[in-house]
Amino acid sequence: MSQYREIITKSVVAKGRKYTQTHHAVLPPNKPSGILGCWIINHEYKAKKNGHKTEVFGTYEINVWYSYHNHTKTAVVTEKVDYKDVIKLSYRDDDCNGDDDVWVKVIQQPNCQEAVISDCGTKINVQAERELSVEVTGDTKITVSVHDYEDEWDCERETAEEHHHH
């Protein structure tokens, strides 16, 4: 004899994913003669749902280590940038409600693909990439069947042997 119960539970109701390449022009105080390294650090972000899309607002810092004065001195120039990624959502169900929790997963942290001195010679052009995915959770109703069976743990030790021939 089985009965059915309806259970309300949180589950992933929508997902989205986006890869982005961006170009930044970093202006160092000294005219660069060479680029020694480029790192992107301190990535921070928050997400908010907006209809069938999610908006991720983020910031990160670009650090470029460069030489100047004909390669006799070095310095690091830091630039904080912000971004807004609009990620389209694909839904599993249309009739879910309360889908307000947005979880961001960083598939590819913002990183520097290339840093070169600009043609005019005063700026450093940085190409960066990042990839984010989002999941939206909401209340989903699931139906489970509940079976009535005698639990062997409830029986005495002696009578437990008799129940093994199910």
Distance CA 103, CA 153 (A): 41
For residue 94, what is the DSSP state? S
* Count of structural domains within the chain: 1
Q: Is residue 152 part of a domain?
A: no
Q: Is residue 69 part of a domain?
A: yes
Cα–Cα distances (Å) from 159 to 121, 140, 149, in that order, read 89, 41, 15
pLDDT tens sequence across 6-37:
998 888 889 999 999 999 999 999 999 999 99
Q: Which domain holds residue 110?
A: 2-146
This prediction has a pTM of: 0.77
Q: Is residue 140 part of a domain?
A: yes
Q: Is residue 121 part of a domain?
A: yes
Strands lying side by side in the sheet with 2-26: 90-91, 2-26, 124-147, 97-117
